[in-house]
Amino acid sequence: MTSHELDDDDNAARISNPLNSDEFRRQGHMFVDFIADYYTNIEQYPVTSQLKPGYLRDLLPPSAPFEAEPIEEIMRDIQNHIIPGITHWQHPSHFAYFPCSASTAGILGEFLAAGLGVVGFNWAAAPAATELETVVMDWFGEMLNLPRTFLFSGEAAGGGVIMGTTCEAITVVLVAARDQKLDKIGRGEIGKLVVYCSDQTHCAFEKAAKVVGIQPGNIRAVETNKTTSFALSPDSLKSAIRADVAVGLVPLFLCATIGTTSTTAVDPLEPLCRVAKEHGGMWVHVDAAYGGSACICPEFRHVIDGVEGANSFSLNAHKWFLTTLDCCCLWTKDPNAIKKSLSTNPEYLKNRASESGHVVDYKDWQLTLSRRFRSLKLWLVLRSHGVGNLREFLRGHVAMAEAFERLVEGDERFEVVVPRRFSLVCFRMVMMTLSDNDDDGGGNNLMNKKLLERINGSGRVLMTHAVAGGIYMLRFAVGATLTEPKHVMEAWKVVQQQADAIMQGV
């Protein structure tokens, strides 16, 4: 046999064995180097892709290859065709939406979970996956100083679970609340159920309500205003509930938010929970997807004061906690309510451990059966950084947002629209020629829309906008892992340059 034939045999062996250890090691090193180089050079890229829709179809073949292609060729296409089409979420000048912060620990935890290939739907399928999740959720809950009624280690029957997104978490607890209420008033009364939120609540709540069968006309988005920094007023909630009760409707659920998407408004939990308790013991869920992470810092913990009156609490560790998408942490005082609504027990999943009643089967805490080993990456993040360093990471972003806020306040052409919370600054350019009686929703809003388009069009910075109370504002969200004060200063220079151009009519 010739050496050429041996090479062909080796290649065939690698292709026929999709988990060849030697080939995994070789290609794995290539991908680690690729990602490391990507982060080293990330500032060379514009924050947003400069390509037009449909660009990729013109660059790739019309059909999948019949023969295997070498990894080297595939990686060239990743560099040449995929990377140019990315909005670089980890770019230090990415100030849009909310952060989706990455870290070495988070990425490697994701890598390890994928490599182990565990499907942990119940304890028997992956004991370590289940047990690590219960431990990590208690660790995290203690860091947040959550009431022990939300923890596995508490005296009550609470506990936590890791899901993909807030959309899943809200749907799960809404299902539990719905079934609890219908068990009392009758299954045929679902059309009477009403759910409440503010007009700043994330659209995930409306979607979840529709999924679980709440009539669209029974989803109450209670109006907020600038005088309360767009937080939900307990008095307004009480009025809405009383009006519904007066016509025979049944209050079911309140979604309160800690850090709304538009302006990071913080709904006052203690009085809201009190209102909910006064009206039939409504289920209260606290959506702290963004703001919750900051509560590991003692100086921010007060924003969830009153959480002991809620039924469930969730935050996205993949937003501002270095854990990479996806990792939504949900705690509840009453897992049994969720399990009663979502548990299934087919013959092919029956096992001695489950039947003993001494283990957690997370399949009954979520919408899907299959689940990933998400707790690995959160565990790696907590251990690799420690509570002290995680607090300083968050504080660093808040400090940079404070610095940007001062820059805005120091330029008479601009104003901060709402008081800053956490690391988001909501600001706008104000047209000096407008009188108090002019339509602010016209000239100023159009000008700020143009300003944002010019800022993002530069490719040097990415921001997004919000409209609250009829005011169009720019959102400057500090949270990318690689962001430093110099990037904040550079972003402000871009804002000023584009504002100068608008004023000069360029």
All residues at 6 or more sequence positions from 422 whose CB lies less than 8 Å from its CB, including other chains: 259, 264, 290, 291, 294, 300, 398, 401
443-457 and 485-503 are packed helices; what angle lies between their axes, rounded to 10 degrees?
Answer: 130
If you search the block for the tokens 């104003």, which residue do you land on? 415
User: Phi-psi category of 404—alpha, beta or left, where left has phi over 0 and alpha has psi -120 to 50?
Assistant: alpha
How far is Cα 284 from Cα 281, in angstroms, rounded to an integer?
9
DSSP state of 213: T
Residue-level pLDDT at 439: 47
pTM over 0.85: yes
How close are the terminal C-alpha atoms of the chain, in Å?
73
State how beta strands 424-429 and 471-477 pair.
Answer: antiparallel
Residue-level pLDDT at 1: 53
All residues at 6 or more sequence positions from 211 whose CB lies less than 8 Å from its CB, including other chains: 171
DSSP state of 324: -
DSSP-assigned beta bridge partners for residue 475: 426, 464
Residue-level pLDDT at 114: 95
Q: Can you give 437-492 as a three-state secondary structure string? A: CCCCCCHHHHHHHHHHHHHHHCCCCECEEEEECCEEEEEEECCCCCCCHHHHHHHH
How far is Cα 103 from Cα 324, in angstroms, rounded to an integer?
7
Question: Cα separations (Å) of 328 from 103, 180, 182?
Answer: 17, 24, 28
Average pLDDT across each block of 10 residues of the chain; the chain has 506 residues. List them in order: 56 73 95 97 94 94 94 96 95 96 96 95 95 98 97 90 96 98 95 97 96 96 93 97 97 98 97 94 96 98 98 97 96 97 94 93 95 96 98 98 97 95 96 52 88 95 96 97 98 96 84
If you search the block for the tokens 């219908």, which residue do you land on? 182
Residue-level pLDDT at 318: 97
Residue-level pLDDT at 9: 59
C-alpha 183: how far from chain center: 32
Buried b (16+ CB within 10 A) or exposed e, 260-270: bbbbbbbbbbe
Residue-level pLDDT at 13: 56
State how beta strands 159-163 and 328-332 pair.
Answer: antiparallel
Question: Closest Cα partner for 489 from 398, 406, 433?
Answer: 406
Q: What's the half-sphere exposure (Cβ side, CA atoms, 13 Å) at 349?
A: 18
